[in-house]
Amino acid sequence: MTERLRLTLRVDADKKPALGHGKIRLLEQLAETGSISAAGRAMGMSYRRTWLLVDSLNQLFREPLVVTRPGGGGGAFLTAEGEAVVRCYREIEKEAAQAAETRLAELEKLLTPQIV
Amino acid sequence: MTERLRLTLRVDADKKPALGHGKIRLLEQLAETGSISAAGRAMGMSYRRTWLLVDSLNQLFREPLVVTRPGGGGGAFLTAEGEAVVRCYREIEKEAAQAAETRLAELEKLLTPQIV
């Protein structure tokens, strides 16, 4: 028996950083934890790398996707645009997987069988 | 005006190396050039890295995707399985892009406008 194949998507625009699985997971973790550092930790990333990714995401879109509350232990949250981007990406993923189901099964048959 | 977004796919199977854009491009270059080193050069990769990728692709599937002709300047070519994998991946890509068209347009509207 071979195992189920999964599709992972990356969205590319010319001359812009790509939007992929990692950035979307980061936005989801941010929504969940309400904190940039907690979201980064959950993904095993340094605070600096997390912050740079959030900044790059905010630059990529017209409106910021992530905002921080002013003040000390303020935390961070997704804007309506941030939520829309996550929703959109996950929908694209679902639609793509459904559309490609037959071909993925075809590809699966060509794979080396799983050694358990 | 924002530019058209493109989808790039990666196919993941549990406990196996992923199959993505780079490996498929390598197979296509191999089919075109008939040579592992020429295919690698076309993609800016060292011979060693190219060879390791070809080997990893051959391990991933039941049948080898790439075979070399015995003898000195023998060259390499895709097997029927190699051609099937490329065709399958490109079909998945096309079907996914068609299915996601509306959502991609939605996401596109949220992007920072292109500065020309």
Q: pLDDT by residue (tens digit) across A64-116?
A: 999 988 776 668 999 999 999 999 999 999 999 999 999 999 999 998 886 55
* Distance (Å) of CA B115 to CA A42, A61, A81, B1, B107: 35, 13, 21, 9, 18
Please name the member of A11, A62, A84 whose beta carbon is closest to the beta carbon of B5: A11
- How is residue B61 written in tokens? 């599937």
Q: Taking Cα atoms as reference points, which of A87, A90, A19, A76 lies closest to residue B111?
A: A19
pLDDT at residue A112 in the model:
83
A34 — alpha (psi -120 to 50), left (phi > 0) or beta? left
Q: Name the average pLDDT for chain A.
A: 89
Record: contact B103-A91, CB cut-off 8 A? yes
Task: List per-residue pLDDT tens for chain B, 116 residues long.
Answer: 445 788 899 998 887 888 999 999 999 999 999 999 999 999 999 999 999 999 999 989 999 999 988 776 668 999 999 999 999 999 999 999 999 999 999 999 998 886 55
- Residue to substitute from B2, B7, B90, interface A, most A β-carbons within 10 A: B7
Inter-chain CB pairs, A–B, below 8 Å: 139
- State the Cα–Cα distance between residues B66 and B82, nearest whole angstrom: 6
Domain A10-110 belongs to what architecture? Orthogonal Bundle (1.10)
List the domain boundaries for chain B: 10-110
B113 — alpha (psi -120 to 50), left (phi > 0) or beta? beta
Half-sphere exposure of B86 (CA within 13 A, CB side): 19
pLDDT at residue B2 in the model:
44
**Model-level pTM?**
0.82
Please name the member of B14, B60, B100 whose beta carbon is closest to the beta carbon of A95: B100
Q: Which residues neighbour A105 within 8 Å (Cβ) at sequence distance 6 or greater?
A: none
Helical ranges in chain A per DSSP H: 21-33, 36-42, 47-60, 80-99, 101-110
Q: Is the confidence at residue A10, as pLDDT, over 50?
A: yes
- State the Cα–Cα distance between residues B102 and B20, nearest whole angstrom: 24
> How do strand A66-68 and strand A19-20 relate by DSSP bridges?
unpaired
Chain B touched by A3 (CB under 8 Å): yes
